[in-house]
Structure 1
Amino acid sequence: MKNASIVTIRKELEELNREDLLELCLRLGKFKKDNKALMTYLLFEAHHEDSYIASVKETLDELFDSMNTDSYFYMKKTIRKILRQLRTYARYSNHKSTEVELLLYFCERLNTLKPSIHRNRTLNNLYERQCLAISKKIETLHEDLQYDYQLQLNALGETSL
């Protein structure tokens, strides 16, 4: 089966009535967990971006607090899992500032981990790549936001030393 293009899907959706659209949306929500999460964001949290960011940060806190820090091996696996989940949450929002804010928070939490991630080459490289990605994303934002986020990123760089 070949997937239709977005343009074709849009034209077909415009021809459907309200009840059929509602049924399609509910079926999409039942089909996959990611679809359901995206629909939840769009319906309930897209209008309140600050509360969405706060709830994601709370979820990240729970994941970091439950992390097994006995070994760097376990830490690496969990940190990658957290980063994967963070990227999914950031993808739901179309605001670039949301992604920057969540990545900055992620890096802040990485800096506070004990034992320090900077003693492990793999984790330190992951941290450095995230800082580099943040700086690239900051450049695409409005000047006022660039300044604020750049200050936070510089503060992260100073605490990692």
Structure 2
Amino acid sequence: MVLAIGEKAPQFELQASNGETVRLSDLKGKNVVLYFYPKDMTPGCTTEACDFRDHHESFEGLNAVILGVSPDPISRHEKFIEKHGLPFLLLADEDHKVAEDYGVWTLKKNFGKEYMGIERSTFIIDQEGKLAKEWRKVKVKGHVEEALDYIKENL
């Protein structure tokens, strides 16, 4: 699926690490930082989550909610949150439907093997539910600051 900046972001409804269901439609009036990552407890994903953790208050000050999405089950998300003190929700997209809707469920290659998985990506959704910015094939270093700066300057 091709997403267009300025268009309504694909709606979703996913189980969250706090036991509740999160719907994008319920977040109207807030900026949403929706970041997709491959797997809890892996080095790159841990670094990215901890970077979002360390900047969490700055995002909150800009009326922004951080939501991390991976195919991991809630039980694994809970361990990840506990281990790293993550102050934001992680959403379980076990059937990868939301990842497909956002175009981040892709063919990946690692050590000569091909498999389907999450392409590390971040989407900024504005207070009206429209896609404001996207980053695909994210490199972790410096990315969270880039997302924060975008919100400061544009939303």
The two structures have a TM-score, normalised by structure 1, of: 0.26
Larger radius of gyration: 1
Higher relative contact order (CA 8 A, sep 6+): 2
The two structures have a TM-score, normalised by structure 2, of: 0.27
Report which of the two has the higher share of strand: 2
